[in-house]
A and B are shown apart, each in its own frame.
Chain A
Amino acid sequence: MNPIRKRRLILVGLLLLGIGSATALALTALSDNVNHFYSPSDVLAGKAPQARNFRLGGVVLEGSSKRDGGTLLAKFTVTDRFKELPVQYEGILPDLFKEGQSVIATGQLGSDGVFVATEVLAKHDENYMPAEVAEAIAKGKEQAQAQSNYQ
C-alpha cells in the first residue's frame, strides 16, 4: 500500500472512531438526562416513571401552598384542573411562583405519592404559559368536562 493511501486510511479510520465514540457518548448522556413532562392526570394514571427524574407541570392549586414553620420545606398541590398531585420542595421558591399560576417542577415521585421536587420553575413573564402546561391544562379541563357530563 502506498504511503499516501495508508495515511488516508488511518485518517478515515480515526475519523470514524471519533464520530462513533462521540455519537455513543452523546446518546448515553442524552438518554440519562432527558426529562419527560407529565401532568398530574398522567402521573395518577401511572404513566410517569418511578425512581427517575421527570417534570411535572400544571397550575399551583389555589390555597394549597404552605410552608412548615422554622424550615424551608414548602408544600403545594399541582393541578391540571382534572387531577391533583401534592408536591414538596425544600428551598426558595422562584419570585414568579404564585397560587393559580403555572409551574414546572423537576424531581421524582415518592412511594407515598408525593412528588419531591429538586427544582421549581415558574413562568417568566405575565402573559406566558409554557406550551406543555397550556396543553396539559386544556386536556385536563376537557376530561373534567367529559366526566361531569357523564355524571
Chain B
Amino acid sequence: MLPELGQIALILALLLAVFQAMVPLVGAHLNREPLMQLARPAAYGQFAFLVFAYAILTEGFIAQDFSIAYVAQNSNLALPMHYRFSAVWGAHEGSLLLWVLMLSGWTVALALFSKALPLRFVARALGTMGIISIGFLSFTAFTSNPFERHVPALSDGNDLNPLLQDFGLIVHPPMLYMGYVGFAVAFAFAIAALLDGHIDRQWVRWSRPWTNLAWGFLTLGIGLGSWWAYYELGWGGWWFWDPVENASFMPWLAGAALIHSQAVTEKRGTFGAWTLLLAISAFSLSLLGAFLVRSGVLTSVHSFASDPERGMFILVFLVIVTGGALTLYAIRAPRLVGGPPVGLYSRESLLLANNILLTVACAMVLIGTLYPLVADALGWGKVSVGPPYFGLMFFVLMAPLVWLIPLGALTRWQGDSIGNVWVWLRTAAALAAVIAAIAWVAQRELPIKAVLGIAAGIWVIFGTFAFLWRRWTTAARGQRLTAEMLGMSLAHVGVGMFVIGVMVTESLNVERDVRMAPGDTVEVAGYQVRFVKSYHEEGPNFVADEGVFEISRNGVVLSEQHPQKRQYLRGQVMTEAAIDAGFFADFYIAMGEPLEDGQAWAVRLYYKPMIRWVWLGALLMMFGAFVAATERRLRQTVREEVRVPAHSAVAS
C-alpha cells in the first residue's frame, strides 16, 4: 500500500510542477499578480509531496520491504541500519528521487528567500525551476520508478553494492547533487532576467549567493568523491580523468568562471551577456553530466547500468532546456548594454583572463570526454581518451591561471599599474622563491615539477595574505574585511594548498606493488614495512582476510596497519586499504590478491607525500564559497533597490 502512495505523491508533485511552470510564467507575461502569487504555494506543495515520497522509500529500506523491486535490489537482511538510509540513493532510481527532492528543496529556498525581489522576477525564476522539475519528475515517474513492485515479494534482497557501504559514499552523492541542482537557481535567474529584458545587472547581484552555495556544494561533492576513490577503490589515486569524474568537473569549471564573471557584472556592469551565457552553460553541463552518468553511453569505471531509453530522455530534455535557453539568449542578449571602458591592465582584464582559461579548460575536458562518442558515431572505431591528454591540457591551461590569482585581488577596477600591485606582492614572490629553493636543496633530486608547484602555491597563498594585509592597513576600521573578501581569500589559499598538494604528490609519490609473505620486510621511501601476519575476520555482511603490517623507520616502529580484503555475502570482493594519514605524507597499504594459495599476498605499498593538501585545498575552496555567500551587501541592496524605483526616480 505504502509504495503506491509514494508513487501517487510523485505524480501529484509532477502535476504541481506543471502548474508551477505554467501559471506564474503566464501570469508574469500578462502581469497578473494573483497568477504570479501562485508560484510559491506550488513550490511548497511540490516539496511536501516529494518529502513524503522520499520518506516512504526510506521506510521501505528500514522495514526491508522486499516487495519493492528497488529495495530488493539494493539491500538485504544483513545490511546495517545506517546503510539502509543511504541505500536509498545507492542506485539509479533512488538517487534520482534524491535529485528531484533537492531540486525542489532549492526551489523552496528560492521561494522563501526572494521575498524582497520583484514578484514578476520571482514568478519567472520559479516558473523556470518548475520546467526543470517537470523534466526530472517525469523522468523519474515514467522511466525510473523507484516504487515499482517485485511480484512475488522476495524473502531477501540482493545487497547494496559494497563500494557504497562506506561513509564517503553516504555523503558524496548528496553533496554532488546539491551542487549540480544548485546551478539550476543561477540558470533560473538568468532566464528570468532574459525574459524580463530590462534587468541587466540586478539579477546578478541577486543570484551571486546562490551560485556560490551551489559551487561550494559541488566542490565538496567532488572532493569527497576523490577522497573516497583514494581510500575505497584501493588504487591509491585521487583523480583518474574518468568520464564520470569529468562529468562533474565540467560544471565545476564553468561555475568557477561564473563566480568570477558575476563579480565583474555585478560591480562594473561589463561581461553582462557573457555572465548570462555562463549561467546557462553551468547548468547545461550539469544536465550533460547527468546524461553521461545515467545513459551508459561512455565506458566508465562507475556509471550506472546502461539504459538507452533513459539516456534518450535526458538527451531530449537537455536539448529542450539548453536549446530553449540559448534561443532566448540569442534574441535578448544583444540588447544588453556594456559597462564603462577599461584599461589594458585592470581587474576586468585579469578576470577576463581567468574566464578564458577556465572556459577553455572546460572545453578541453568536454572535447576529451565526448570524443569517444563522436568517434563512435562517425565510425572511427571504439576509442577512449587516455588521462595524459587531460593531464597535459589541464596543466598548460591552469599554470598561467594560478600565477595570476594574487594579481586579480590586488589590481584595481578599470585600470591600474603593475608597479602599484608589485609593491604588495614583492614579499610573496621572494618567499615563493626562497621556500622553493630550500625545498630543492633539502630534498635532493626534487623534480622541477614539484619545485614549481611549491613556488606557485606559496605565491598564491602569500599573495592572498598580501591582499588581506593591504585591506588591513589601508581600509577604514569596520570596512577592512567583508564576507566576500574573506571568502575569496579562503578559496584562493585553498587553490594554493591544492596546487602544492597535487604537484608534490604527483612527482614524489612512491608506488610499489610487491609480493610479501608473513615475516617479509620491504623498504619504501626510507620506511621499512613488515608483513607480520594475516588472519580471518568476520563483519556483519562480509568475511575478510586482514593483514597486520608494521611501519618503521630506522628501527623505530611508527604504526601498525590493518588492511583488509573483504568478501561480501553476495560475492563481491572489496579492498579496504589501511592508511597512515599525515599532514605531510600518507602511507598507504592495500592487500592486492592472495598468491600461491594464500602463502603470500600481492601488496600495494604507497608513499603519498602531501596528498591531504589536495582535499584540504578543496575544503578551503568550499568554505570560501560558503563564506562569500553570506555577504551582507548582496542581501541589503536587494531590499534597497526594490524600493528605489518608487521613491528616488526623480531624485537621481
Residues of A within 8 A of B (CB): 7, 18, 22, 25-26, 29-30, 32-37, 53, 55, 67, 69-72, 91-93, 95-96, 104, 106, 121, 124-128, 130-132, 135
Is A92's CB under 8 angstroms from B513's CB?
A: yes
Residues of A within 8 A of B509 (CB): none
Residues of A within 8 A of B303 (CB): 124, 128
Looking at B299, B375, B392, B570, which has the most chain A CB atoms within 10 Å of its CB?
Answer: B299
Pick from B364, B381, B388, B570: contact of A26, CB under 8 Å: B364
Q: Interface on chain B toward A: helix, strand, loop, or mixed SS?
A: mixed
Min CB gap A13→B, angstroms: 14
Chain B stretch 495-521: residues in CB contact (< 8 A) with chain A: 513-515
Min CB gap A16→B, angstroms: 13
Is A53's CB under 8 angstroms from B305's CB?
A: no
Whole-angstrom CA separation of A132 from B385 in the bound complex = 15
Is B383's CB under 8 angstroms from A124's CB?
A: no
With both beta carbons as reference points, the residue of chain A lying nearest to B308 in the complex is identified as A131
A-B residue pairs in contact (CB < 8 Å), sample of 28: A22-B360, A22-B364, A25-B393, A26-B393, A30-B371, A32-B389, A33-B389, A34-B375, A34-B383, A37-B381, A37-B383, A37-B384, A53-B386, A71-B515, A91-B513, A92-B513, A92-B593, A95-B234, A95-B575, A96-B573, A104-B299, A106-B386, A124-B303, A125-B305, A126-B570, A127-B305, A131-B299, A131-B306
Min CB gap A120→B, angstroms: 12
8 closest Cβ pairs, A-B complex: A92-B592, A37-B382, A33-B389, A33-B386, A95-B573, A130-B299, A132-B382, A29-B389
Residues of B within 8 A of A70 (CB): 515
Known: A36-B381, A95-B573. 4 other contacts (CB 8 A): A25-B392, A35-B386, A91-B513, A125-B305
Whole-angstrom CA separation of A7 from B343 in the bound complex = 11
Is B360's CB under 8 angstroms from A34's CB?
A: no
Is B367's CB under 8 angstroms from A72's CB?
A: no
Total interface residues in chain B, CB < 8 Å = 47
Min CB gap B224→A, angstroms: 19
Is A93's CB under 8 angstroms from B593's CB?
A: yes
Residues of A within 8 A of B651 (CB): none
- Residue B250 is within 8 A (CB to CB) of chain A in the complex: no
Is B382's CB under 8 angstroms from A34's CB?
A: no
Min CB gap A139→B, angstroms: 12
**Contacts A72-B515, A127-B305; is A92 near B602 (CB within 8 Å)?**
yes
Min CB gap A30→B, angstroms: 6
Whole-angstrom CA separation of A26 from B558 in the bound complex = 46
With both beta carbons as reference points, the residue of chain B lying nearest to A42 in the complex is identified as B381
Is B383's CB under 8 angstroms from A35's CB?
A: yes
Looking at B386, B387, B514, which has the most chain A CB atoms within 10 Å of its CB?
Answer: B386
Chain B stretch 350-393: residues in CB contact (< 8 A) with chain A: 356, 360, 364, 367-368, 371, 375, 381-389, 392-393
With both beta carbons as reference points, the residue of chain B lying nearest to A57 in the complex is identified as B382
- Residue B109 is within 8 A (CB to CB) of chain A in the complex: no
With both beta carbons as reference points, the residue of chain B lying nearest to A4 in the complex is identified as B341
- Residue B572 is within 8 A (CB to CB) of chain A in the complex: yes
With both beta carbons as reference points, the residue of chain A lying nearest to B594 in the complex is identified as A67
Chain B 511-543 near chain A by CB (<8 Å), digits 1 or 0: 001110000000000000000000000000000
Is A72's CB under 8 angstroms from B602's CB?
A: yes
Whole-angstrom CA separation of A127 from B303 in the bound complex = 12
Is A34's CB under 8 angstroms from B515's CB?
A: no
Min CB gap B435→A, angstroms: 31
Is A34's CB under 8 angstroms from B384's CB?
A: yes
